[in-house]
Structure 1
Amino acid sequence: MSQQRPVVVNPPTPSGGRRVYARGGEILGLARDLRDLAEFLRRAGLDLDPAEVAESDLIEWRGGGPHVWEAAADQ
């Protein structure tokens, strides 16, 4: 049985950045990089530095991993 991760980072928006949600639907913010995401997590009670955020098992990355912050260009 897989464990649900408490934080979801959605795919990049067309204008850049990624919506960040706590499991249950609470919006934490629109992160434009790992520093933003680390700050949102800190405010939510998870104190991780940006390097830890990229490797954390607490985060479900959708539409790209921790180094994808811009939407793919249309082809």
Structure 2
Amino acid sequence: MTSACPGGDRGHDAAAFPDDADDDTPIPALRLVVHPPDHRGWRRVRCDGQSLGTAYRLSDITVFLAATGMENAEDFDLTDPALVDWRGGGPDCWVPVQP
């Protein structure tokens, strides 16, 4: 399995399979950041410092993860705060910010 983040193939995705390591070597955790909604309610999504795109709804993030090569991206828990850093509101917040 490949990593959810571009250029970060770790052999398998540590965030999706934390107990699946072959040895005691710590595997870096996924660093998925969803930025606060902008004036349209759209949210920038970054992984390990690289832009994945702009999400208009929660399902867009799953599409971004699948596009990076993540197997079973639809099963990735976007509500887990250990896996996703939601800034400016959680996964249910897509309300435009008022200027």
How big is the shift at 1:70? Answer: 2.0
Q: Deviations over 1:7-57 (max 9, x none)?
A: 10000011221000012x211000011110110011123333278323463
CA distance in 1, matches of 2:30, 2:90: 15
Q: How many residue pairs are counted as aligned between the two chains?
A: 71
How big is the shift at 1:71? Answer: 2.5
Structure with more helix by fraction: 1
- Report the more deviating stretch, 54-63 or 43-52: 43-52
Structure with more strand by fraction: 1
| Deviant stretches of 4+, over 4 Å | none
CA distance in 1, matches of 2:76, 2:92: 11
Report matched runs for 1:55-74 at 5 Å: 55=80, 57-73=82-98
CA distance in 2, matches of 1:10, 1:26: 13
The structure with the larger Rg is 2
Q: Percent identity?
A: 35
Please name the residue that 2:50 is paired with: 26
Q: Unpaired runs of 5+ in structure 1? A: none
Whichever residue aligns with residue 8 of structure 1, its letter is: V
The 3-state SS of whatever aligns with 1:11 is coil
Q: Unpaired runs of 5+ in structure 2? A: 1-27
Conservation of the 8 A alpha-carbon contact between 2:38 and 2:97: no
CA distance in 1, matches of 2:67, 2:52: 9
User: Greater relative contact order: 1 or 2 (C-alpha under 8 angstroms, separation 6 or more)?
Assistant: 1
Q: How does the TM-score come out when normalised to structure 1?
A: 0.73
